[in-house]
Chains A and B, each alone.
Chain A
Amino acid sequence: MNSDLFVIPFNLGLYFILIYSVVRSVAWFRSLSRPDKLRLQRGFFGRPFMDSLREIFMESLLHRKIFRKNPVLGYMHMSLAFGWFLLIVFGTIEADFFGEKHLNPPSHAIFFRWFNPEHGAEGLARIYNVWMDFLLAFILSGLLLAVIKRFTPRMMGMKKTTRHTWTDRLALTSLWLIFPSRLLAESFTCGAHGSGSFLTGNLGSALASFLPAAEIAPWFWWLYSISLGTFFFMLPISRYFHIPVELFLIFMRNSGITTGDRHSSYTEVQTHACSSCGVCISVCQMSYAAGINDIQSAYFIKGLRNDRDISAITANCLMCGRCEEVCPVGIELGPMRLIERRQGERADRTLSLPERYSVMRKRSVTEKVPTQSYGYLVREEPEKAEVLFFAGCMTHLTPSVIAAMKRIMESAGVKYRFMDEKGGVCCGRPLMLAGRDREARELINHNSDIIWKSGAKILVTSCPICYKVFRESYYLEATVMHHSEFINLLIEEGSLRLGYLHRKVVYHDPCELGRGSGIYEEPRAVISYVAELLEASQERSMSLCCGGSLGNLTLASGKKAMIAADAARILTMSSPDELITACPLCKKTFVQATKTKVSDIAELVAAALPAPSKRVARRRSARATVRANDAG
């Protein structure tokens, strides 16, 4: 039995990874917050568990999402994951069914051919052998694609692929060696014994015709076992750890756990569940439009996993959310980056990762801090109003949007108060995006106070950045509406009389309004009511960032201009008369990037209002403001 020693590397590796997985899972579970623990426990005995099994089958094995995005890439992942899974399942059945005894150790299934070299000469076993050879060929075809992808990503429809660390490379090499070495090991054994099916049998007899197959075979069995063992040992410290971790992530997510605003074992699980597939790199405008190729989410997550100083990567992101939209694993990349931005200014890089996690967990974002940054703000006593209009800082830089909103609301007879007409206080979102939650909270409290005291039922804002933070981080009685929603409401109520503009327009979904807040239909309904809306090639959830994002405070303006020019080019491909957006910042950015006229949705609607003469309109506007001020 001495010649069977080759199974040792495989066995060591396998038991190591099994024990490691259990220990790590228990550790993650223990460090979850109490509510999350409960969620997980409840999930285990309920629907989430079944949902997770289904999802694991569809995504972790079949890779359905990648398939939809890129069929070749999907096939590559499916053949490796699903093929290997089937090989293990049917290998185990084979060993159980055809082996000398039932309930074999795993190595007997994995190295079945070595232990049963003559197997498969006739009958059912012969057919079974064809099936097993087919599975091996299926995996090898995927492996071939993987090799092509690594050296020429373009052939796989990938613009870029991720760069690897040495641990990744070692793991990758061992993974790549597993299946060719199995093929050769089985082929040599089959060649020596005249067995095997269409793949191993034919290759085996061909090799045996000029090589001493029986002497060579053990070498390849050793190589096969060592490859497997190495892969298992490298698993926890390489990107392939994502394979087991993703299963855990799917279950956690289906149980209702979310990222939140601090590091936790959920963020750690997400960090390890990233497969570095590189899909996020392909959709990143920073990469393909501005030539910045080291800050994408795959690198961000890798830096987090390897505990590197990634403060520069963390800061250099538009926070547009396109990567999160396409992430096949479903990692919450935006919230993860925000957490890291918050930590960025405070995290002690000398602490180890687990230590840091535990320190972070103890810190609360809303913890009491002695100093105030905005203590000088004066508490206001606002007048009462049904509808409160908050333009926002950015909208004050686009006065035509404010003018349009005034005209629309006056035309519809809306009694409103203009909360920040004489200048207001920032909504807090830019500070949050910069990771300064404490300061943001001060501003939020200040504005909340005014909004509550005004007694407003509806808070209308023209800025998607304000809109998102009003909805998510303010506690308000008033319904928060972006002006596109509000105008849509006015149209539906019948309070707005509008003409039809004979213009062809294209609509740009602002990141914070579309992906950020899920508002896609209302702006389109409004635009279609007054003009002809053309389709854009990249819209709704895959809308482009204009490049002017407040989420990135480090990007050079030249690079922003490159992103803006590229986005504007794609949006205006159908040669529209006008490019419509619903965000003052997008408007300001696009104006510099295209010759096409750029307007806010409010301006488009205002243009469709029955037009009074300019002077009358101004006088009326002045009167209305006085009235609104008096009415309060």
Chain B
Amino acid sequence: MKTVPKHVLVAGGGVAGMEAAGALAEMGYRVTLVEKGDDPGGHLLQWHALFPDRRPADEVRSYLRKRAGHHNINIITRTTVEKVRHHPGGVRVILSGGTEEEADAVIVATGFDLFDAHRKEEYGYGIYDNVITSVDLEAMFNRGRLEKADGTVPSRIGLIHCVGSRDEKVNNNHCSKVCCVTAVKQAIEIRQMLPSCEVFCFYMDMRMYGPYYEELYRESQEVHNVNFIRGKVSEASVNINNRLVIKVEDTLAGRPLKMELDIMVLMVGMEMAESGAKLAEASGFRQGINRFLESGDHHYGNNLSGIKGVFYAGTCTAPMNITDTISHARAAVAETVRYLKA
């Protein structure tokens, strides 16, 4: 006797969504993957190389593409999930545009939004030409050209950590976890691309929590001569030569510091995705103080939503790196399968 395969809808086609969809499809489930952008891939699409080993982001991208290309997966793009509601027969899903889908279970993998650097006006993003974000820098790496807005080669670049993270003034208390090591990675890449360009990282703490991160941090100093200054940048301006001037307190030396820069890179953090927050509000998901989804139990039920048939995967619950996101998505799949078989 052949049974109709059960149907799982995955909201969000980033790293977590693609991995979850792929794993479920492999086990014979029918999967609908809903992605708001033109293509699945999420923020990873913008990345050039990954920490800690600086492997090309394309390697992970092609793994995920293959995963999501399984014949059991139906991908719907340019669509968001507006609302999910459990009912005795399964989960009813309302998509943007008003279409409805029936599913036996739903995995929420709506991910994160990058912090909008315009909100820290004192850093001058959008006001001064040579203030860019870590994502803009990655795009420069993709193009293979690192230059100032006027096309000249920079001789000093500053990387500002914790932009939109651990900052009560923008209502974000949380650490985005990946920016420190991203800064170290990008600092090394700058030094390799432009050996004559000085690089300064301005940090509050260096949070090198993952395997080989500490080694990368050490390498950046010993091999690549990246400078690390502990202190938060208070404000930026431009001088008469149109060079950026930043004010920092060097908290290790215990004195204020002014420095001229050619390019200032803002290491923007992660925030709960706006689309995910809307879905959470409409569907009655619990959100924590920093708006990320709050799971049933943050130790042993981190994929559980508290609503029957609805599970969480990836950075919609908290900032994570790619390794942890993939593990989290697989755990969500395990919970979903356990629920569907019960």
Partners in one complex: yes
Q: Give chain B nearest CB distance to A602 CB in angstroms.
A: 13
B119:A591 contact, CB within 8 angstroms: yes
A397:B121 contact, CB within 8 angstroms: yes
A403 within 8 A of B: yes
Docked complex: A389-407 residues within 8 A CB-CB of B: 396-400, 402-403
A399:B121 contact, CB within 8 angstroms: yes
CA distance A400 to B118 in the complex (A): 11
Convert A561-591 into 0s and 1s, putting 1 for each residue whose CB lies closer than 8 angstroms to a CB of B.
1000000000000000000000000011001
Residues of B with C-beta under 8 A to A558: 171, 289
CA distance A369 to B235 in the complex (A): 34
CA distance A423 to B245 in the complex (A): 11
Chain A residue with Cβ nearest B131: A399
B169:A398 contact, CB within 8 angstroms: no
Docked complex: B244-260 residues within 8 A CB-CB of A: 247
A396:B171 contact, CB within 8 angstroms: no
Docked complex: B89-119 residues within 8 A CB-CB of A: 118-119
Residues of B with C-beta under 8 A to A423: 247
B14 within 8 A of A: no
CB within 8 Å for A622 and B127 given contacts A396-B122, A396-B235: no
CB within 8 Å for A399 and B122 given contacts A557-B168, A557-B169, A558-B289: yes
Residues of A with C-beta under 8 A to B169: 557, 588, 592
Docked complex: A378-426 residues within 8 A CB-CB of B: 396-400, 402-403, 423
CA distance A265 to B236 in the complex (A): 49
Chain B residue with Cβ nearest A618: B242
A626 within 8 A of B: yes
Docked complex: A270-327 residues within 8 A CB-CB of B: none
CB within 8 Å for A399 and B124 given contacts A557-B168, A561-B171, A592-B119: yes
A398:B121 contact, CB within 8 angstroms: yes
Q: Give chain B nearest CB distance to A547 CB in angstroms.
A: 11
B242:A398 contact, CB within 8 angstroms: no
The interface centre, meaning the residue of B122, B236, B242 with most chain A CB atoms within 10 A of its CB, is B122
B155 within 8 A of A: no
Q: Which of B122, B234, B247, B289 contacts A398 (CB 8 A)?
A: B122
A107 within 8 A of B: no
Convert A606-626 into 0s and 1s, putting 1 for each residue whose CB lies closer than 8 angstroms to a CB of B.
000000000000100010011
Interface size for A (C-beta < 8 A) is 19
Chain B residue with Cβ nearest A626: B240
B200 within 8 A of A: no
Instruction: Summarize A's interface: helix, strand, loop or mixed.
Output: helix
Convert A206-235 into 0s and 1s, putting 1 for each residue whose CB lies closer than 8 angstroms to a CB of B.
000000000000000000000000000000
CA distance A618 to B289 in the complex (A): 42
B128 within 8 A of A: yes
Residues of A with C-beta under 8 A to B171: 557-558, 561, 592
B237 within 8 A of A: yes
B170 within 8 A of A: yes
CB within 8 Å for A400 and B121 given contacts A557-B168, A592-B171: yes
Q: Give chain B nearest CB distance to A512 CB in angstroms.
A: 19
Residues of B with C-beta under 8 A to A622: 240, 242
Q: Give chain A nearest CB distance to B44 CB in angstroms.
A: 27
Chain B residue with Cβ nearest A584: B121
Chain B residue with Cβ nearest A400: B127
A399:B289 contact, CB within 8 angstroms: no
Chain B residue with Cβ nearest A548: B169
Q: Which of B119, B127, B234 contacts A399 (CB 8 A)?
A: B127
Chain A residue with Cβ nearest B123: A399
A591:B121 contact, CB within 8 angstroms: yes
Q: Give chain A nearest CB distance to B37 CB in angstroms.
A: 21
CB within 8 Å for A399 and B237 given contacts A423-B247, A618-B242: yes
CA distance A47 to B236 in the complex (A): 58
Residues of A with C-beta under 8 A to B237: 396, 399, 402
A397:B122 contact, CB within 8 angstroms: yes
Q: Which of A399, A557, A592, A626 contacts B236 (CB 8 A)?
A: A399
CA distance A396 to B236 in the complex (A): 8
CA distance A397 to B235 in the complex (A): 6
Residues of B with C-beta under 8 A to A625: 240
Convert A540-568 into 0s and 1s, putting 1 for each residue whose CB lies closer than 8 angstroms to a CB of B.
00000000000000000110010000000
Q: Give chain A nearest CB distance to B36 CB in angstroms.
A: 18
Q: Give chain A nearest CB distance to B266 CB in angstroms.
A: 14
Q: Give chain A nearest CB distance to B117 CB in angstroms.
A: 12
Residues of B with C-beta under 8 A to A561: 171
Chain A residues at the B interface, C-beta cutoff of 8 Å: 396-400, 402-403, 423, 557-558, 561, 587-588, 591-592, 618, 622, 625-626
| 16 pairs, A vs B, C-beta closer than 8 Å | A396-B122, A398-B121, A398-B122, A399-B121, A399-B128, A400-B127, A403-B127, A423-B247, A558-B171, A561-B171, A588-B121, A588-B169, A591-B118, A591-B121, A592-B119, A625-B240
Nearest first, the 4 A-B pairs at minimum CB distance are: A557-B168, A397-B122, A561-B171, A398-B121
Beyond A396-B235, A400-B127, A625-B240, list 12 extra A-B contacts (CB 8 Å).
A396-B122, A398-B122, A399-B127, A399-B236, A557-B168, A557-B169, A558-B171, A591-B119, A591-B121, A592-B169, A592-B171, A626-B240
